[in-house]
Amino acid sequence: MAERYSDVQLAAFITAFASQPPDVAEVTSLTRAMVEVGDRLAWPGDVIVDKHCVGGLPANRTTPIVVAIAAAAGLTIPKTSSRAITSPAGTADTMETMAPVDLDLAAMRRVVDREGGCIVWGGSVALSPADDILIRVERTLDLDSDAQLVASVLSKKLAAGANHVLLDLPVGPTAKIRTAQGAEELGRQLIAVGARFGLKVHPMVTDGTQPVGRGIGPALEARDVLAVLRSDPDAPADLRARAVTLAGALLELGGGEGAGGGIARAAELLDNGRALAKFMAICDAQGGFREPQTAPLTQVIAAPRSGRVAAIDNRLLSRLAKLAGAPQAKTAGVDLHVKLEDPVERGAPLITLHGESRGEIEYARAFADTNPDIVRIVPR
């Protein structure tokens, strides 16, 4: 924070830290140091909840929906989110297409006091600001280690004043967490380090075999979020289901619902429009709601053969969206038109590229043409 180290030195630290097996005492020390150099919030009430996904799964944009449901249920959820590190969009990038996220601490307090929740960029409120310096270097290195992830996530939650945290851990062969064993180990680290600070951490292992929702990229993911909140008939069913499951678990963790009752309550708050009303109120409190924009350029990638979808490579799909311009170009990214095991006919749309420049669209198309297994189709 004193700016005594160059980016080269910071890169050496991050790389060395990532190359060693995680050590609870070491990660705890780093977490504490990161919290202590920034501001720290405190809120009235005994239960302050938060939700975080460790990432690695394209379009898994459940956070705005979960925050809206939790706040509508009466919980306090001061959500600070990051911008993309290695992905085509972070929650802050997506939320920014609908409402301002660069709020200072005073503004964040006003929003939470008024609406019970917020969705703001963590970098604008000086909560664990050292983490933002490390993330900037991690983004350049395209590196996001487990140990640094634990310190990053927990320092942000502690600084934001949370004491009950739900963590989404997607597991899949091309997700950030590849195996159930890896998720279990990461969950243990998060629980152990959180316990050193009196933080109740509840890891939740979820399906990471394929993207959640359709759009990948800030504005495209925002479109899907709004479709779920508005209960549109064509809203992505998998995004709604995952958001309801996570929100239900958070309601139970926060004591608002008994065991097993959270999912039904979360679904009710979506269906009766209270979650949408709360989301719009949060956007209004943060500076005003706006509809996400659409990209000026699109190009469809069609199925090269008939068959069924056997695999979807999350990492290649994320790379494709980034080549199309996401997250720097807010409307850029991709729409995925199929899910695992879907039947497809030759010539049917598989992916639609969205971009703001012809060059990026063509670059992304060239990448797709040389990586035909982004969506792998096998005979039925």
**Amino acid present at 1:** M
* Residue 73 CB contacts under 8 Å (≥ 6 apart), including other chains: 251, 256, 257, 265, 266, 269
Q: 53 in helix, strand or coil?
A: strand
In the sheet with 49-53, reading across from the earlier edge strand, the strands are 49-53, 164-171, 200-207
Q: 310 in helix, strand or coil?
A: strand
DSSP letter string over 44-100? SSS-BEEEEE---STT---HHHHHHHHHHTT-BEEEEEPPPSSSS--HHHHHHTTS-
- Can 146 be counted among the known catalytic residues? no
* Structural element, H or E, at residue 8: helix 7-19
In the sheet with 343-344, reading across from the earlier edge strand, the strands are 343-344, 307-312, 375-378
What's the rounded Cα separation, in Å, for the pair 351 and 367?
13
* Residue 278 CB contacts under 8 Å (≥ 6 apart), including other chains: 68, 69, 71, 72, 115, 116, 117
Q: 351 in helix, strand or coil?
A: strand
Q: Which of 144, 146, 168, 238 is catalytic?
A: 144
CA 221 to the chain's CA centroid? 10
Say which residue the tokens 């917020």 belong to. Answer: 118
Which residues are identified as catalytic?
144
